[in-house]
Structure 1
Amino acid sequence: MLPWPKEVPECLFFFGSENDEIIAALGLYRLDPDSCEIKMMTSPEHRRRGLFSAMIDELYSHPEYNDTNFFFCVRPDDRITRLAVESLNPEKLADSFRMDLNLPAPQEFMSVPTDYEVPPLFMTVSREEPSQLFYQFALNGPVIVPDAAFCRADLTPQGTGACFFNFEVRPKLRGKHLGETALRMVLRDLASRHVDHLWLHVEEDAEAAVNLYKKTGFRVTETLSMYLF
């Protein structure tokens, strides 16, 4: 079984076989139009045969993927996988945290007292796919900023979990508490949709982002090394 979180929706799987026996499997999840996250598992007796490299080459041979960036996450204690990945000379990126949050029921959400004036944000939610929610925030004030912040949440097939992506506040508006206000609005909306678990990945050295997620209840559950093919 591939060690992919069971919550991730809409994965594609590719299998390698020999003598009618499946000996390798590769899971592919598209993060955005230009990049995918991949995971792979090879039967122990068929390791060190170049199957991982062959399957990556096979992916690149398909027109749909030949311009795609592939990201591969490895746990620091998984020495066998790390050596196999590094043998292909990928680009080593910054280590990242997986952070998780168990959401309370909608009626249990409470206003969080702050020592600052809450920014006047207006949130809109749209869908491009049934499982994808896109959040956009407009800053209301003397000057209306229509795209002050944005993010995306991918729902699990059951709809009770979501992976959080691409949370960003416009650089000129940072340091004004927009990020915390927007994130709490997203969490409340997801809870109203009966999502009870949320997870994300963030670079380990992104101190401001890590602190923001911790402030809103996320906890680090895993550290991963990230590679780019």
Structure 2
Amino acid sequence: MLTKEQLHDIKGLQLLCEANDQITLKLNWDMLQSREAQEQNDYFLYENKELIAFLGLYEFGSKAEICGMVKPDYRRKGIFSSLLDEALAVCKARKYREVLLNAPAASATAKAFLKTIPCEHSSTEYQMKWSFMELPEEKDIRIRSSKSDNDLKAEIQLDINCFDFLEDEAVDYNKKIRKDGKQQFFIIEHGEKTVGKIRVSHEKSEAWIYGFAVFPEFQGKGIGRRALRQVIWKEHRNGYDVFLDVEAKNSNALKLYESCGFQTFQAQDYYTYTDSKG
């Protein structure tokens, strides 16, 4: 578990790097704030009590994502390479099926570094922010808190069906994310049936939507759109700016989000690490 001091140092370095490079780093703060005490997922380098480099390892089932940063004055000294080597050794020991390196699409520094290691571009993810638009009142969709064991089983099955998790991966992942006190878990109901799920993470004035999924047999009926509108409007009424992520090649989801008022403001690139010896 990360200490308050470590989280403060990470945030400070993040803000410095983002301002210097004119980018937005994706450090998965919902996960940083709910780390397992016994797992090594975060790598720090301090100099004179100042954090000058950080790397975070994020597990999604049998897939791992890596993102990090180095203070501008300390770059091109091999610092990030050393942290990455440590993280990749852990990835190898855990036998992840895939390791992805995350870099803001606008970061020339990150792209130059990625050219020096064995990896290939895998996908691009858009980060989207909701722009105000009037949304109709949705009366036939119910969004309620996830509370029961049956709710959890439904959420696990949705991760298997919609996000390609294996069953044991989905079980483990759902147990981990529930340790984050800033996230709220919701079940989507239609006609008294559980049809999907959605969760919301709050950070200051921001509400981030994650894990939005509808069972395949209920897709294409407008249920997901109506549920999303309901969640957006609730968060807006409560004073939050609303955000979400979507894979660029997922054209159906992208069109759905745009139709509900979301606009892309940032892109993140993902690169698959390809060195089997790493």
Structure 1 and Structure 2 fold alike (TM over 0.5):
yes
Unpaired runs of 5+ in structure 2? 1-12, 19-24, 34-41, 148-177, 274-278
Distance 1:62 1:92, change over 3 A: same
Structure with greater proportional helix content: 2
1:100 matched to 2:129: yes
The 8 Å contact of residues 57 and 87 in structure 2, kept in 1 or not, is answered as: no
Partner residue, 1:139: 190
Correspondences of 1:37-186 after superposition (within 5 Å): 38-60=66-88, 66=94, 71-102=100-131, 111=136, 120-126=140-146, 128=178, 129-140=180-191, 145-146=193-194, 148-156=195-203, 158=204, 160-186=205-231
List per-residue Cα deviations over 1:27-77 (Å, max 9, x = no partner). Answer: 5375756666543222445433332232123335569x9456664432334
TM-score relative to the length of structure 1: 0.73
1:191 matched to 2:212: no
Q: In structure 1, how many angstroms separate the alpha carbons of the residues matched to 2:120 and 2:199?
A: 26
SS of equivalent to 1:95:
strand
Q: In structure 1, how many angstroms separate the alpha carbons of the residues matched to 2:64 and 2:214?
A: 23
The 8 Å contact of residues 10 and 29 in structure 1, kept in 2 or not, is answered as: no
Q: In structure 1, how many angstroms separate the alpha carbons of the residues matched to 2:54 and 2:219?
A: 39
Q: In structure 1, how many angstroms separate the alpha carbons of the residues matched to 2:57 and 2:239?
A: 21
Q: In structure 2, how many angstroms separate the alpha carbons of the residues matched to 1:35 and 1:163?
A: 21
TM-score relative to the length of structure 2: 0.62
Structure with greater proportional strand content: 1
Work out the percentage of aligned pairs sharing the same amino acid: 19
The 8 Å contact of residues 204 and 210 in structure 1, kept in 2 or not, is answered as: yes
Q: In structure 2, how many angstroms separate the alpha carbons of the residues matched to 1:153 and 1:70?
A: 26
Distance 1:218 1:34, change over 3 A: same
Alignment counterpart, residue 209 of structure 1, candidates 253, 262, 268:
253
Question: Which residue identity does 1:81 align to in structure 2?
Answer: A
Q: In structure 2, how many angstroms separate the alpha carbons of the residues matched to 1:6 and 1:198?
A: 18
Distance 1:94 1:80, change over 3 A: same
Instruction: Measure how far apart 1:79 and its partner are.
Output: 2.2
